[in-house]
Amino acid sequence: MNIYDFTGLTRSIHEGLSSSMSPLAVTVTEFVIIAFAFMIFFTILGLVLVYAERKICAFFQLRLGPMRVGKWGLAQTAADAVKLIFKEPMITKNADKFLFNLAPFIVIISTFMALGALPFAKGLHALDFDIGILYISAVSSIGVIGILIAGWSSDNKYSLIGAMRSGAQVVSYELSVGLSLLTIVVLAESLQFSEIIASQEAGWWIFRGHIPALIAFCVFMIAGTAETNRGPFDLAEAESELTAGFHTEYSGLKFAFFFLAEFVNMFIIAAIGATVFLGGWMPFHIGHWAGFNQIMDFIPPIVWFFGKTGFLIFLMMWFKWTFPRLRIDQLLTLEWKYLLPINLINILIMAFVVLMGWHF
């Protein structure tokens, strides 16, 4: 059948383990394998994304970016990671040490849990709940608690202001992200990621869902960029006024956790966007053109997934280096007076379209 199907591989690993171990040991071993796989993936992803960000930023500003370490500066981020590991971890004198140390872990755990639900290819899927999208928005809402307590426990006014801004921003933009995803859930008739992808067999929702899907995609990209605290919505860590926002007092590995979590969150938002609007690992299919679809199927799903996700990440970096930073009142006005009403009306239109059967 399909040579790019991972279901057989994962099943054979499971059966191989089951034949020699008790069910409890199998469960624990599988947990450990998956945890290690995700940790390695997480680290590599962080390194690649930081390198991409620096290079893309450089090209937007007509510079070369990192060039010294390795060919085209390819080893630069790895060198930076080593530097971060060896840095001295410092804690301000009056900080609440328990909460100060806990905060980066809350942020990174929520990122990890969201990463676990992403479908990378057919069968390459750690968690496939039937509440997929609800699960991701649930676990990513824990991250804001980490940001808030990081800012509060640092005993620094910049951190506190940054945390309050960040909290207000994440809590309000979560709504728009959720509602724009719901617009496509109405079309796909499922919250489960594997079923959302399967429903795009005949074409991606962004093309088949008419204008409402396109509007939902635009809202999702804006709100997603804001939810990850990235520019032009990065006023939580506006360096000219707040030094570094909620992670001003963090150094070394704990700073690296916040930094990595921000980049991986960007990847998660892009991957959700790619999965829900652009078909995830599903190749580019056009209706009943069997020959064309066959040719597209030769490209492995992993390439499709990372290609689409990479394109959306590039879009988000493009935003960051093109638009000026918003003020806090502009940010809240954009969400509550524009995006949210547009979203609510859009979801009604989409429900009407689905009811009348006007979509392809």
Partner 1 sequence: MNALTIIFYIMAVLMVVFSIMAVTSRKLLRAAIYLLFVLIGVAVFYLAVDYMFLAAVQVVVYMGGILVLIIFSILLTSHLGERLQVVKPTTMLFAAVLSLVSAGVVISVINGFTFITSTFEGDKLTVAHIGQQLLSYDQFGYVLPFEVISILLLAAMIAAIAIAKYKHQGKS
The residue ranges that bind partner 1 (CB under 8 A) are 23-24, 27-28, 94-96, 98-99, 102, 129-131, 134-135, 137-139, 141-142, 144-145, 148-149, 151-153, 155, 160, 163-164, 167, 171, 174, 190-191
Nearer to partner 1, 111 or 137 (CB): 137
Closest distance between partner 1 and the C-beta of residue 64, in Å?
Answer: 42
DSSP 159-207: HHHHHHHHHHHHHHHHHHHHHHHHHHHHHHT-S-HHHHHHTTTTS-HHH
Phi, psi of 287 (to 5 degrees): 40, -115
Closest distance between partner 1 and the C-beta of residue 304, in Å?
Answer: 27
Nearer to partner 1, 148 or 219 (CB): 148
Closest distance between partner 1 and the C-beta of residue 32, in Å?
Answer: 13
> What tokens appear for 350 in the block?
């989409």
Nearer to partner 1, 29 or 243 (CB): 29
Closest distance between partner 1 and the C-beta of residue 170, in Å?
Answer: 9
> What tokens appear for 120 in the block?
């990378």
Phi, psi of 124 (to 5 degrees): -100, 85
Nearer to partner 1, 153 or 228 (CB): 153
Nearer to partner 1, 161 or 206 (CB): 161
Closest distance between partner 1 and the C-beta of residue 175, in Å?
Answer: 11
If residue 62 lies in a helix (H) or strand (E), which one and from where to where?
none
Nearer to partner 1, 144 or 222 (CB): 144
Distance, CA of 153 to CA of 90 (rounded, Å) = 13
Segments in the chain forming alpha helices (H): 7-20, 23-60, 76-86, 97-115, 132-140, 143-153, 157-188, 193-198, 205-208, 210-227, 239-242, 252-277, 290-297, 301-322, 328-333, 340-356
Closest distance between partner 1 and the C-beta of residue 320, in Å?
Answer: 26
Phi, psi of 280 (to 5 degrees): 55, -125
Closest distance between partner 1 and the C-beta of residue 94, in Å?
Answer: 6
Token pair 């921000």: residue: 262
3-class state of residue 122 by DSSP: coil
Nearer to partner 1, 153 or 229 (CB): 153
> What tokens appear for 144 in the block?
């804001």
Contact 288, 27 (CB under 8 A): no
